[in-house]
Amino acid sequence: MAIPVTAYPAPFNTTRASHVVLSVKDLAKSRAFYVDCFGFAVSDEDSKTLYLRGVEEACHHSIVLKQTSGEPKAERVGMRVYTEEDLDKAMHLFEQAGLPAKFVEVPNQGRTLHVSDAVGTPLEFCATQPTRPRLVVQFEKHHGACPLRIDHFQILTPEVPKACEFYASLGFRLSEFISPDDSDTLLFVFMQRKGNPHDIVFAGGRGPRLHHAAFAVPETSSLMQACDIASRHGFGGNLESGPGRHGPGHALFTYFRDPDGHRIELFNTHYQMMDIENEPVRWNLQKITTRPWGFPPQRSWFEQASVFDGVEPKDPAHKGNPMTLERFMLEKSA
């Protein structure tokens, strides 16, 4: 399969990854993790729901946490479009594609379109949210890792090329991809609308499932600060991988699991990728490691992810054999 060509102009104007909606078992425990420990700002809260944003964000929420008595799940990932007209164009496109699409009322955001993408990922698009004070220069309110803003989502799917083709048809550009060799076989695709390496990433695996939502932090030292402060709040054991540096995207990162197992990435930072002549960067798995230094992630990072509510994940046709930390240590000690 050739690398999918990005539709230009885009059929509707998606501007960026916007927010993630998760269900959690104990809202107080989630608040202790996201707010007290990591430093997210609270935009609104009641006994059932917590709306959070990073300190650079003026829009109402980039994380919505909903109390559940059942198993915690991911509900949706949210994207922003530029205008109300873009929502109507999006509705038309999803209907024409035979994919689920309906307008719904959602608190604290404008008219909202619920859809499923071509590989079954539940998405919502909106053009507006209420605003709150941007806390970026209110330094006295910064604490924890000081998360600035949401940046991207990563989704696991057994159908990476199909996902890439679909999002290219929506105007997303492929910034980087991982191939098993020097071919254009797509194992892992990084796709963007906002002009940095990714808004949404698709990786091979049982899915669709939400692997992580990622948030930018101001300084490299914020990643270490996050680890230190997590340990003081009793969340030191929630560090799953890192600190380390990615190959694709080049970011420095840490991955934490929240009290319900949802994974968040804190990272610093990305490069610009918006000029028309920029070609996708290919990473050949046989020639490189996806991380230039440090240990590979533990097996859980490859295998565990948040199930989307009401969506039965499918297994990939072939199970991979990634270089997990466990495999790495075994081979080193042999």
Q: Between 214 and 230, name the residue whose CB sits nearer to Fe ion.
A: 214
Window of 40-48, 106-114, 206-214, 289-297 that interacts with Fe ion by CB under 5 A: 206-214
The rounded distance, in Å, linking the Cα atoms of 32 and 296 is: 29
- Examine residue 214 and tell whether it contacts Fe ion (CB under 5 A): yes
The rounded distance, in Å, linking the Cα atoms of 268 and 243 is: 11
Residue type, 204: G
- Examine residue 176 and tell whether it contacts Fe ion (CB under 5 A): no
Window of 42-50, 98-106, 207-215, 305-313 that interacts with Fe ion by CB under 5 A: 207-215
CB of residue 154 to Fe ion, shortest distance in Å: 5
CB of residue 236 to Fe ion, shortest distance in Å: 21
The vertex-95 CA angle with 89 and 97, nearest 5°, equals: 105
Window of 28-36, 128-136, 212-220, 282-290 that interacts with Fe ion by CB under 5 A: 212-220
Q: Between 39 and 244, name the residue whose CB sits nearer to Fe ion.
A: 244
CB of residue 293 to Fe ion, shortest distance in Å: 18
DSSP tag of 60: S
CB of residue 288 to Fe ion, shortest distance in Å: 18
Q: Between 86 and 258, name the residue whose CB sits nearer to Fe ion.
A: 258
CB of residue 133 to Fe ion, shortest distance in Å: 28
Closest residue by beta carbon to Fe ion: 214
- Examine residue 86 and tell whether it contacts Fe ion (CB under 5 A): no
In sequence order, the 6+-apart residues with CB closer than 8 A to the CB of 38 are 144, 145, 147, 226, 229, 230, 256, 264, 266
Q: What are phi and psi of 224, to 5 degrees?
A: -70, -40
Interacting positions 255-284 with Fe ion (CB under 5 A) = 265
The rounded distance, in Å, linking the Cα atoms of 271 and 202 is: 19
Pick from 319, 117, 329: which is nearest to 202 by CA?
A: 117
Q: What are phi and psi of 164, to 5 degrees?
A: -60, -45
Residues that bind Fe ion (CB under 5 A): 214, 265
